Amino acid sequence: MKAIRLREFGGAEKLLLEEVETPKPGEGEVLVHIRACGVCYLDVIVRSGMRSRARLPLTLGHEIAGVVAQKGNGVRSLAIGDRVASTYRIACGYCRYCRGGQGAICDNRQGIGEHRDGGYAKYAALPETALSRIPDGVSFEQASICGCVIGAVYRAVVATAAVRPGETVLITGAGGGVGVHALQLSQLAGGRTIAVTSSSQKMEKIRRLGADEVLFSPAGSDFSPHVKRLTSGRGAEVVIEAVGSATFPASFKSLAKAGRLVFVGEVSGQPVAFNPALMIYKETVFTGVQSPNAEELTRVLELVAAGRIRPLIGEVLPLADAARAHQMLAERSSFGRLVLRAE
């Protein structure tokens, strides 16, 4: 089969289209004929070598949607021909975190496209526990981004921040794959949304998505005075932080007393400095989220099928253009999510 292989860490040019052996599903696994695979910024991080646990050679890609082509021994919940989408994390199911419903931080977790071969290929062998059926009416392209990006945002907005009607939600990186879906889910929860983008070209598109306010903030600038002005000096009750360390200082200053800041993305991996005393004074909460489990992925797919969430695809590219997709992602030139499709 054809697959994009990473044999050494580095730039996008390290992604090579090769002919490799088609994998065979093991115990509890199925072989998925991949129809779409989303391109996540985590793929760029893994490719660069920032994730030292990644084992080379490797096929990247964890936002997978396709059709079950073969079944390994012991598979009970899926049948050949089922349309399925994947989570990013594979949990063991028996450690203390899995037993407590926190499979995303499983002691023995594996990342698809990081610790085992992923979806930049025609086929992938995946555990049935990491897959959810795709409802009728949801395309493969839409389903591919429901696990990592929309599922993570669902956890951030609904489960972790628990956005309540009338609360102000500040969203950084609002024109990216995380931001455009955080905007939709925050609106669905009844929040008033303030969207921040460093791209003036994306402002009108963000407005058309229904953002209550859109702020243009060039890289490194402080948008907090504008947030305070828009909230009568109070600040935002919730911040969905999709950029990370680059925007965190302004996001923290934008946070209201007793506010909740949830990290969903971190694009640079750089440390930040802040005064912990301000957390005490403001009684703020900082936390982060990873990808959803299969049950949460199923809920997200159902919301998409019901028309409550609209997956936003920036562009669908052929598998051979994986390097170009990575360049586009690094340049932040795409509005919405990029998706690869095997020919």
Q: Is 306 helix (H, G, I), strand (E, B) or coil?
A: coil
The reported pLDDT for the residue numbered 102 is 82
- β-strand 29-39 against 63-71: which pairing, if any? antiparallel
CB 114 within 8 Å of CB 120: no
Q: 165 with 104, same domain?
A: no
Report pTM: 0.90
pLDDT digit string, tens, across residues 273-295: 888 898 899 999 999 998 888 88
Kindly report the CATH number assigned to the domain that includes residue 278: 3.90.180.10
In terms of DSSP H, where are the helices of the chain? 41-48, 96-99, 140-144, 151-154, 177-188, 203-208, 224-230, 248-254, 276-282, 294-305, 322-331
**Is 232 a member of any domain?**
yes
Q: Shortest CA distance to 248 belongs to which of 228, 229, 220, 276?
A: 220
pLDDT digit string, tens, across residues 83-125: 999 998 888 888 999 888 888 888 998 899 999 999 999 999 9
Q: 194 with 101, same domain?
A: no
Q: 183 with 97, same domain?
A: no
**Is 300 a member of any domain?**
no
Domain count along the chain: 2
52 confidence band (pLDDT: 50, 70, 90):
low
**Is 210 a member of any domain?**
yes
Residue 337 structure tokens: 């999510």
**Is 282 a member of any domain?**
yes
**Is 304 a member of any domain?**
no
**Is 261 a member of any domain?**
yes
Domain with 57, as residue range(s), is 2-145+311-341
Q: 117 with 251, same domain?
A: no
**Is 303 a member of any domain?**
no
Q: 11 with 107, same domain?
A: yes
- Please compute the mean of the pLDDT values over residues 223-245 and round it to a whole number: 96
Q: 318 with 207, same domain?
A: no
pLDDT digit string, tens, across residues 153-177: 999 999 899 999 999 999 999 988 8
